[in-house]
Structure 1
Amino acid sequence: MRNFIIKFAQAIRQILSAPMLILFIFSKNKEVIILDVRQWIKKADNMKESSPDWVNLIYLLSIYPEFRNIYYYRIKQDDPIGFVLIQIFKILYKQCPSLFIESDNIGSGLFLKHGFSTIISAESIGENCSVSQQVTVGYNTKGRPIIGNNVSIGAGAKVIGKVTIDDNVKVGANAVVVKNVPKNCVVVGVPAYIVRRDGIKVKEQLI
């Protein structure tokens, strides 16, 4: 009985979220949104990978306020009409209030592990990146970070200033990154230093 009630509630939530597909229909970024959907389903609920993309889109919009932040970001990019429509939809379909996305360019597949108290203000972000809660990717007087492809930023981490985080980097929880990080590395600590490069355990300072 309990499972039935849960499934029924989920179905109602998805039905109520269906009008948000109107934004998708008029969007110029349909392909990127679909790639976002596939990445989220893979990481958040891979049991649904066999479902059609549009079904998974409604599912994600109904369950994850953080996904709505990304969805609205995609819809309004270079689209004045989309920007106006979003203001209307935001009244009924709330986004995560403590998640701020201000980057100029974000590649497909951005996954947010909880959006609580997270600021993403990068010059650019590559494809298939992952950002956890209470993360700050922010600017200083020198500029904003550039994030590569397949980068993972752990809970509470800070990436500040005009630094480059290259491809396939993992930033550990609560690390503070203020210098460039080369590709294929894991960094931890305050300030951050390299503990793994190309799969080999090391201990190297960032330059």
Structure 2
Amino acid sequence: MKQQLKRVWVLANLVRLWPSLIALASSAQDAPIRADIRRWASILFKEDHLSAGGILWRHCWLMVFYREYRNLAYLRLRLARTYGWLMPKLDSLAIYVPDLGPGCFIQHGFSSIVSAQRIGANFWLNQQVTIGYSNDTDVPWIGDDVTVRPGARIVGRLKIGDGATVGMNTVVTGNVPPGATVFGVPGQIIWRKPKA
């Protein structure tokens, strides 16, 4: 019954969703927003294969029930200024990344600020995270498949390698090698993925 009510609520919100649906439908098949939707659907709903209609439906669902997703969708579809008032985004989540890879997932993104030179594909962000400047110019560079857990701080000109994990409440003060998990203040490597 709860799922049926949610479906009805999504359908009732279609009038507010039409600008984003048009922007999504006209986007390329390999657009980053489509990769984002597939990743969110895989993580939240265990759906690994989505048709074109399934992508549109999941976009509607995510827009209605996940404010963090709205921030990401507005960034990708460039709709925040003209359309954001219809479905408000999460005000305490700010993303300023000129090169944000596809497949970004934001889990409980409240009170997070993300400013980076680059963030790669399949980035996972949690709440109360600060990624940003140590001065006027120095921001992090983040690789592919990186996970940043709640409360982490990554500040300054440093590099987080592919497949790295930054643990809860960790303060990163230097480069993190690929496949490493860092934890603590300052962050220390506590585990490395074995090489294939």
Q: TM-score, normalised by structure 2?
A: 0.87
Is the 2:24–2:56 contact (alpha carbons within 8 Å) kept by the matching residues of 1? Answer: no
Q: Which residue of 2 aligns with 1:88?
A: 82
Is the 1:159–1:176 contact (alpha carbons within 8 Å) kept by the matching residues of 2? Answer: yes
Taking a change above 3 Å as real, the CA distance of residues 50 and 155 of structure 1, as seen in their structure-2 partners, is same
1:3-152 equivalences in 2 (<5 Å): 4-13=4-13, 16-25=16-25, 27=27, 31-47=31-47, 49-50=49-50, 52-76=54-78, 85-141=79-135, 143-152=138-147
Query: May I ask how many residue pairs the two structures share in their alignment?
Result: 192
**Cα distance per residue 1:64-87 (max 9 Å; x no partner):** 1111111111123xxxxxxxx532
CA apart distance, 1:24: 2.2
Taking a change above 3 Å as real, the CA distance of residues 10 and 26 of structure 1, as seen in their structure-2 partners, is closer
Q: Which moved more, 1:93-102 or 1:191-200?
A: 191-200
Q: Equivalents in 2 of 1:171, 1:65: separation in Å? A: 24
Is the 1:102–1:122 contact (alpha carbons within 8 Å) kept by the matching residues of 2? Answer: yes
> Aligned AA for 2:106?
L
Is the 2:120–2:143 contact (alpha carbons within 8 Å) kept by the matching residues of 1? Answer: yes
> Aligned AA for 1:89?
Y
Residue identity (%): 33
Which 5+ residue runs of structure 2 have no aligned equivalent? none
Pick the structure with more helix per residue: 1
Which secondary structure state, in structure 1, belongs to the residue aligned with residue 84 of structure 2? Answer: helix
Which secondary structure state, in structure 1, belongs to the residue aligned with residue 59 of structure 2? Answer: helix
Which secondary structure state, in structure 2, belongs to the residue aligned with residue 68 of structure 1? Answer: helix
Q: Equivalents in 2 of 1:112, 1:16: separation in Å? A: 22
Is the 2:38–2:48 contact (alpha carbons within 8 Å) kept by the matching residues of 1? Answer: no
Is the 2:144–2:163 contact (alpha carbons within 8 Å) kept by the matching residues of 1? Answer: yes
